[in-house]
Amino acid sequence: MIFERNIIITGGAGFIGSHVVRLFVTKYPNYRIVNIDDLTYAGNLENLLDIEAAENYFFEKANICDAVRMRQIFEEYSIDAVIHLAAESHVDRSISNPLSFVQTNIVGTANLLHIAKEAWQNAFDGKLFYHVSTDEVYGSLGDTGLFTEETAYDPRSPYSASKAASDHLVRSFFHTYHFPAVISNCSNNYGPNHFPEKLIPLSINNILNNKPLPIYGKGENVRDWLYVVDHASAIDTIYHQAAIGETYNIGGHNEWKNIDLIRLLCKLMDEKLGRTAGASEQLITFVKDRAGHDLRYAIDSSKIQRELGWTPSVTFEEGLSKTIDWYLANPLWLEHVTSGDYLTYYNKQYH
Ligand code: NAD
Ligand code: TYD
């Protein structure tokens, strides 16, 4: 079969990557999608069971830092585009183990850029390197204001610093070599397949198991939440429409204080589980604050809305309800990812 495009998606077995892989594999049967993922603790092929037999889907277990393997894959599949999501992604882990973030997020991205440039031999027509990044590169907001594409970078955790460094490398390739790159910076995602180390899936899992809900500090920190399927649709839009060298912020104008979000989650889960109103809220436990905890993130996504016509499709209440329903319908997924290594991580982080 001759494919119209040959696209690498890195980190496709992770949370967001699996939704992007599913969207591209099903929506574009003429595209060959090559998922490169090293299956770290966060990578899970169970996220892709429904599409793994598709004729246009290919999986390569490989580390993005491995130059020999990356070169082979570029050649074997005649790659003409990369959507790069592979990363170490959890702030708390970056505080306890910053070097793995430097390795994958910075060195891994540099390696992919270098090999793509080499494979494309500076003939960039029809080629694209799409780098998926985070709003955390902009640092922390006070009570007012929004991150725009012009906001100066001010990363404050090893995670956000490593993502900022990778963004700078991508832009440097664009400016220096006219390398065909685009970048997007998205706010906090939530939805199905989210690994239960992050606030929302961790709390869903703990409510199900009647375990304490650890809230850092006073729960006053604010995050701007976007349903993961909407992030995937924004990536689709940017992949197909953005001009080379552009950056887009992606967000849902949906700011929540952590404590208010967890109260809403408790209320929805009490209803769905048939528990007495207020039962799950009793599990809320305030714990020691995260080191260097960013106060507030909030995205101005007017550029992508105005220029590319993208808007989120679900409200937060709808998205949260769908997310809880997914976890209730997939107890085995949760059971598999919360055994072994997860318990070691959890006990170290929270006790
Ligand atoms: P995730 O941790 O769920 O998934 C990361 C994936 O990358 C995993 O499948 C893992 O196995 C793979 N991976 C890690 N190191 C690798 C390596 N060296 N080589 C190959 N594969 C490797 O992360 P996520 O939440 O899905 O985030 C995906 C991307 O989106 C990241 O780049 C992240 O910075 C960005 N992002 C995330 C959010 C969010 O809220 N989660 C928001 C904005 C941007
Ligand atoms: P998280 O889901 O780790 O995403 P990020 O740090 O990338 O924004 O955390 C979201 C917010 O929830 C953040 O302010 C930290 C807070 N938080 C808790 O209060 N308790 C927890 O156990 C976790 C994991 C996060």
CATH number of the domain bearing residue 95: 3.40.50.720
Confidence of residue 122 (pLDDT cuts 50, 70, 90): confident
In a domain, 338, yes or no: no
Cα 69 to ligand 2 centre (Å): 34
β-pairing, 181-186 with 247-250?
A: parallel
In a domain, 233, yes or no: yes
Mutation pick for ligand 2 pocket among 216, 289, 297, 347 (CB with most ligand atoms within 8 Å): 216
Residue 162 burial by Cβ neighbours in a 10 Å radius (0-12, 13-18, 19+): buried
Say how far apart CA 143 and CA 309 lie, in whole Å: 29
**According to the model, what pLDDT value does residue 340 have?**
85
In a domain, 290, yes or no: no
In a domain, 36, yes or no: yes
Cα 218 to ligand 2 centre (Å): 12
pLDDT tens-digit series, residues 38-91: 999 999 999 999 999 999 999 999 999 999 999 999 999 999 999 999 999 999
Tokens of 331: 């107890």
131: left (phi > 0), else alpha (psi -120 to 50), else beta? beta
Query: Looking at residues 246-264, what average pLDDT do you find?
Result: 97
DSSP structure string for 28-93: -TTEEEEEEE---TT--GGGGTTTTT-TTEEEEE--TT-HHHHHHHHHHTT--EEEE------HHH
CB distance 160 to ligand 2 below 6 Å: no
pLDDT above 90 covers a percentage of the chain that reads 98
Per the structure, the complete domain to which residue 14 belongs is given by 5-193+225-254+296-314
pLDDT tens-digit series, residues 193-206: 999 999 999 999 99
In a domain, 124, yes or no: yes
Number of domains in the chain: 1
Say how far apart CA 39 and CA 24 lie, in whole Å: 20
In a domain, 102, yes or no: yes
Q: Which residues are catalytic?
A: 135-136, 159
Q: What is the pTM of this model?
A: 0.98
The rounded mean pLDDT for the chain is 97
Q: Is the dihedral of CA 91, 16, 101, 127 positive or negative?
A: negative
Residue 63 sits at φ, ψ, to 5 deg, of -90, 130
In a domain, 337, yes or no: no
Tokens of 267: 């209320």
Cα 132 to ligand 1 centre (Å): 9
In a domain, 141, yes or no: yes
> Given the structure tokens 């199900």, which residue do they identify?
208
